[in-house]
Chains A and B, each alone.
Chain A
Amino acid sequence: MKKLSALVLSSVLIAGTLAGCGKEAEKAPNEGGSTQAPAAAPVELKYWAPFSGGDGDFMKELVTKFNSSHEDIQVEILNLKAEEYYTKLQTSIVSNQAPDIAIAHASKLSELTEGGLIHEIGDVAKEAGIDWSTYSENILNATVLDGKNYAVPLDTHALILYANETLVQEAGLVGAEGKLELEGGQEGFMKTLQDLKGKLPEGVFPVAATSNGDSPLRIWWTLYSQMNGKLLSDDAKTAAFNNEQGKQALVYMNQMVNEDLWPKNTKNGGEIFTANKGALMFNGGWMTGSMEQNENLKFIALPIPQLFDRKATWGDSHTFVLPIQKSQDAAKQAAALKFADWVASNAGVWAQAGHVPSKPAVVNSDEFKALKYRSDYVEIADYVSYMPNSPKITAVQDIFKKHLNVMMNGQATPEETLERAEKEINELLAK
């Protein structure tokens, strides 16, 4: 028994140490302005964000810069894990402990407004001196619900096309000018993939993209948006995707899978591409920031080519929102939006993560142009296609993803997928 208890005890100790290692020390930067006392007490703002990895570092850098250049406003950032971010944010608002300013994805705004969790910001924005015309129209539109502004957009992050420079060069896809030459149109692009398959070394994927979860949904939405497709009816009460265009987009994806151009059940497209095992990849622009640090990878980043009627690609935005407080403090609210507008105006740093800034002035700045890759796909800001506004959009997407997953697995046809998803989404929306 002695040995046993020693074993249990030591295991517990090990568990404690391991748990300690696992926890990231997420200290808020507290540099600027904390030592010297300014004349008037500064407005102190609590700011929540869901940024991990590179995104988190760039955001902290921005906050530090802001704090050191603004004596009257001090921002304290709390970076939360993305998976639990919205649960925590919503709970904090309901329990009157909300931060003064928080990041929310444009696609979440409808859910947040429906629950009465965030403020309409039109008036405060005026007071804070925000000029909406300095924002890209297409990106800004995604933050306007029923004609009212609810958020300050920071960026757009969209699905783009990456190519492994070494591999596509060997396959002869790079022309004399060093640019990737892809045939446009759905047949042309498919033919390119088929040719690639013939020319690529054994074990290299023509297309590397994750086959489950968000990735196939985003690809479908991109193709479907290129055919002007709608996800939901205008009143967001019924599903509106079970149609010829919706099917055509799925059939196109199915063909890539069935011909082994996009091998079945790919778990981590990004990992495969980064390991030089994929020629092309559909993935978010945020991959740029991490992939450019990989010395063994040479890649090209491009907008997704126009395969159907118009240019379009899936995208979302990080935006700043003002959570509802127990007691409103007008000074804090104005300060919070000043901070948001400042970050959007200084998003050159943010663009290092791979996102496209929301202000054309930033996009045209030398700081942005000095960054490699970003300018090659910056045009997406004009035609990025957002998911429709619906307080149930997350659940709607989950249903769609679930059925899409079965199709990508080869266990359902495009028709069955659309029918099942339509039926369940209609049931959900009717509740």
Chain B
Amino acid sequence: MKLRLGSKGENIAGYLFLLPFLIIYSMFMLYPIVRGFVTSFHKVSISMESTFIGLSNYTQMIRDKYFWEALWNTFYFVLISTPTLIIVGLTLALIVNANLKGTTFLRSVYFLPFVLSISVISSIWVFILQPYTGLLNTFLHKMGVVSEIFWLDEPTLAWISILIATVWWTVGFNMVLFLAGLQEIPEDLYEAARIDGAGTWRQLVSITLPSLKNVMLLTVVLQTISSFKLFGQTYLMTKGGPGTSTRTLVQYIYEKGFIERDMGTASAMSYVLFVVTILFAVIQFKFFTNKD
């Protein structure tokens, strides 16, 4: 696509239309990004006086074992959540895209949790998963399970619980993205395939999945980024516990910045997360586009 360059007047009008957006974008996006970078080289006191300390925040961060733990926890969640959310999202999209009765209803049902806020989601899952009085354990006891299962207090189980809650909350969004992709695939491709005797599986592998490549790329990138930003679920469901075993980088940044009031270190860690996230997004774009 080539840009048509209009007259000077048209350009000015265009920029004027963009202006409100640009102002707000610079104030609340660009400025904080730059300011955060600057802050990461400063020691900031409670009363917001800052002194330049060079790379100290970064060296301190590298020596902090909790930083590495939080970074690993974040990676771990990206690793377990991204494939799960992609596969479940795609499966749901395939189900609701089928010409069956009730799919419109199902679409709304699957998407609905996504409109709820994270505090609501977390309260629901704590209500379900908490020991002694939780819905799930009460049910299991009725079914004859005697021992108390601590869904939110054993590191592995806690991660599974967080994953389940996250899937339930956000998978609807991925489903909608895939659904949009599915509906763009021309019906005649399937028709031709059926005439050639291709079965459902063959159609899925040879038509559906290849056609979804662009949507897949978008979804994987968006999903990875949002998994890197995990905070609400762990903070509200496990408080990062037991101990610090489900504390993610964003939570650690929050605690450093707003509880310990160490804005410098918090900014430094934010930049690590920023760089890591960008790196992953770039790698994914490369990985997907190279195959063309």
Q: Could you tell me which A residues sit within 8 Å of B by CB distance?
A: 1, 3-4, 7-8, 10-12, 14-15, 18-19, 22, 87, 90, 94, 111, 114-117, 205, 212-213, 263-268, 271-272, 275, 277, 391-392, 394-395, 398, 402-403, 405-406, 409, 411, 428, 431
A selection of 16 A-B contacts at a CB cut-off of 8 Å is A4-B176, A4-B179, A7-B111, A8-B176, A10-B108, A18-B115, A22-B117, A117-B47, A212-B241, A263-B132, A264-B153, A267-B126, A267-B131, A271-B133, A275-B133, A395-B259
**A7 touching B108, Cβ below 8 Å:** yes
Q: How far is the CB of B97 from chain A (nearest CB, A)?
A: 10
> Which of A7, A213, A267, A411 contacts B107 (CB under 8 A)?
A7
- Chain A residues with Cβ below 8 Å from B260 are 392, 395, 428
Instruction: Tell me the nearest residue of chain B to A211, going by C-beta.
Output: B153
A6 to B179 alpha-carbon distance, docked (Å): 13
The one of B114, B116, B180, B241 in contact with A1, judged by C-beta atoms closer than 8 angstroms, is B180
Q: How far is the CB of A426 from chain B (nearest CB, A)?
A: 15
| Chain A neighbourhood of B45, CB < 8 A | 115
Given known A1-B183, A3-B104, A8-B176, contact A265–B150 (CB-CB < 8 A): yes
B259 and A398 contact, CB distance less than 8 A: yes
Which residue among B179, B242, B259 has the maximum number of chain A CB atoms within 10 Å of its CB? B242
Instruction: Give B residues with C-beta under 8 Å from A.
Output: 45-48, 104, 107-108, 111-112, 114-117, 120, 126, 130-134, 148, 150, 152-153, 176, 179-180, 183, 239, 241-244, 255, 258-260, 262
Closest CB in chain A relative to B40 CB, distance in Å? 16
Chain A residues with CB under 8 A of B244: 402
Q: Among the listed B46, B115, B117, B258, which residue makes an inter-chain contact with A14, where contact means beta carbons less than 8 Å apart?
A: B115
* Chain A minimum-CB-distance residue to B114: A11
- Give CA–CA (A263, B104) in the complex, Å: 46
Chain A neighbourhood of B134, CB < 8 A: 267
15 extra A-B contacts, CB within 8 A, seeds A7-B107, A398-B255: A1-B180, A4-B179, A8-B176, A18-B117, A115-B46, A212-B239, A213-B239, A263-B148, A265-B148, A265-B150, A267-B131, A267-B152, A395-B260, A406-B241, A406-B242
Bound: A18/B179 CA distance, A:
25
Contact of B241 with A402 in the complex, beta carbons under 8 Å: yes
CA distance A431 to B264 in the complex (A): 13
